Structure 1
């Protein structure tokens, strides 16, 4: 009987020990503690935890690396988070790694994300303090979205007013006019043609300038030939001299005309007598009439001599000689 009671006590102690071990195991599993491995501790300081609590997960490059062990208030602006990290990941975490607070999914629990630094560095040691990186939280995103929505609402109201004004203006009439499109295309085509023509003209002018610089063509000779330039200067000098002479002759002619005009106005000189004395003019007219009559009589006498017996042979010889000269000149 005593032996059976002893066995019952041993069984009760064994069951109690198993329950204690099971409770400890459940506690460790609930805290994401490494039961059969070793851990090490890292620290990071934030200004705002955004709801991070003890026991939340710690991720390294998206991989489960440990849990948040404890949270300590350093001062009114600094909060220190102590993390327990699996020692298997220790070699991969360097001292220049960055720690930030994120969320599991869109609305899940808060987690600490550890990201590798840009440059290679030495591995961390137990108790090292990592650099904190500020990440935009969901609340900040929602506030920004709220401000953006308000701005969009204001812009939409302004756009609505602008569109209503444009609808009542002549701009839409211009846009709806089907004849503007072909006219605009034609104008652009003309502009393109004009641009090509201007380009061709520019190339032609460049070529002409190059030829002139090389002394080619008339313009090149005029600009580059020193001898021709000297001849031009001499010709211009002669033209100037001729112009001066013409000016002198004009001045002398003016003097002569002034003298003649003075003589005519004063009734002096032969020209005045010829132009203004009617008696002299009448005598000159009679003299010219007598000369014409005398010339006519002389012609009649010469015609009579041609038919005279003594002079008839002479005139025939002269006529034959003229015919022979005409034949020679024709040949």
Structure 2
């Protein structure tokens, strides 16, 4: 074999060796990314919809990649069973009450499974365990909802545009306030009145506070009534006396009412005197006749005194009256004077 053939063989051998090395390195690299050479356990989650999840996608726990999707199979009537390869080193952190949900690396990125939740009181998962699955949001439903929201937003924008145009044109109460100077002035006046009213309210509140502080002063009447037992007892006695006086006044009013009823009754003398006009006229005539009779009697007595037959009798009576007056005068003079002694 010539030297040229040997050289060519060596070069080909080198390239083949490099290719084998690159192939082996690629295999190991891919195996490392797919967790092919790491001890794993199988964990199952059953979803109603996997939303585009694929075999070989990643499994995450607390932001750390802990495994990959081993298989995706139809299960039951219309469900999907997802089998995951989980590293044994992460087994102790995942509990039986943990949940698996489908997420995505970005809005349009690859889907993956995120395991979260779980409590320390629950046991760690074992090979072949089934954990609870949370179904992902339906992208179509989400887009439909977004579409409806966009339509509603457009409608709201149109309504707001119409509203602002009406406000600018001065329609409605708010538009009138914005454009009508008279109404604006009235509104400012109303606000000023409200401010003045609020200030007066504050002033009244301050006055009331000062008044209550005066009532609570140690020398005030209210404080004495509230704290001094002597004043309170006196006030209570006064109220009792006032109550008795009120009862007496009420009794007197009842008596007066009964008396007035009796006076208004025409069956008694007082009632007849007050209400019977005919009896009153008769009584008046009687009093007039008595007065006339007394005058005539006085005249007759004067005539008798001037008569010779009765003159001695009347003189004798006059002397006896004078004698009685002199005796009374002497008796008064004979009594001792006790005024100066006192």
TM-score with structure 1 length normalisation?
A: 0.60
Displacement of 1:84: 1.6
CA distance in 2 between partners of 1:195 and 1:164 (Å): 46
Structure 1 residues 94 and 258: alpha-carbon distance in aligned structure 2, compared to 1, 3 A threshold: same
CA distance in 1, matches of 2:200, 2:277: 65
Partner of 2:105: 104
Unaligned runs of 5+ in 2: 2-7, 179-183, 216-221, 264-269, 293-342
Once the 2 structures are TM-superposed, how far is the Cα of residue 140 of structure 1 from its aligned partner? 4.3
* Paired position in structure 2 for 1:47: 48
Q: Would the alpha carbon gap of residues 20 and 139 (structure 1) be closer, same or farther in structure 2, given more than 3 Å must change?
A: farther
1:169 paired residue number: 172
**Structure 1 counterpart of 2:274:** 254
How many residue pairs are counted as aligned between the two chains? 261
Alpha carbons of structure 1 residues 37 and 123: separation in structure 2 relative to 1, 3 Å: same
Aligned positions of 1:59-78 closer than 5 A: 59-78=60-79
How much has 1:165 moved relative to structure 2?
A: 5.5
d(CA) in 2 for partners of 1:63, 1:199: 67
Instruction: Check whether the contact 1:28–1:34 (CA below 8 A) recurs between aligned residues.
Output: no
Greater alpha carbon shift after TM alignment, 180-189 vs 190-199: 190-199
Q: 1:98 offset after TM fit, Å? A: 1.2
Distance 1:179 1:228, change over 3 A: closer
8 Å Cα contact 2:99/2:116 also seen in 1? yes
| Whole-angstrom distance in 2 between the partners of 1:218 and 1:50 | 91
Task: Report if aligned partners of 2:273, 2:280 keep a CA contact under 8 Å in 1.
Answer: no
3-state DSSP class of the match of 1:42?
strand
- How far apart, CA to CA, are the structure 2 residues paired with 1:159 and 1:132? 44
Equivalent runs, 1:169-188 vs 2, <5 Å: 169-174=172-177, 176-177=184-185, 178-188=188-198
How far 1:187 moved relative to its partner? 2.6
Is 1:233 the counterpart of 2:242? The answer is no
Alpha-carbon separation, structure 2, partners of 1:150 and 1:48: 28
User: Following the alignment from structure 2 to structure 1, what is the Cα–Cα distance between the partners of residues 128 and 75?
Assistant: 16
In structure 2, what is the equivalent of residue 122 of structure 1? Answer: 123
SS of the residue corresponding to residue 89 of structure 2 reads: helix
> SS where residue 148 of structure 2 aligns?
helix
TM-superposed CA distance for 1:83, in Å, is 1.5
Contact 2:166 2:175 in 1 (8 A): no
8 Å CA contact retained: 1:42, 1:84: yes
User: Alpha-carbon deviation of 1:41?
Assistant: 1.8
CA RMSD of the aligned region, Å?
Answer: 4.5
* Contact 2:47–2:133 under 8 Å retained in 1: yes
1:162 is displaced (CA, Å) by 4.8
Question: In 2, are the aligned partners of 1:73 and 1:79 still within 8 Å (CA)?
Answer: yes
Q: How does 1:1-331 map to 2 (within 5 A)?
A: 23=23, 26-27=26-27, 29-30=29-30, 32-34=33-35, 36-136=37-137, 138-163=139-164, 167-174=170-177, 176-177=184-185, 178-192=188-202, 216=232, 220-221=236-237, 225=240, 229-242=243-256, 244-245=258-259, 251=271, 253-254=273-274, 258-262=278-282, 268-269=285-286, 271=288
Shift of 1:164: 5.2
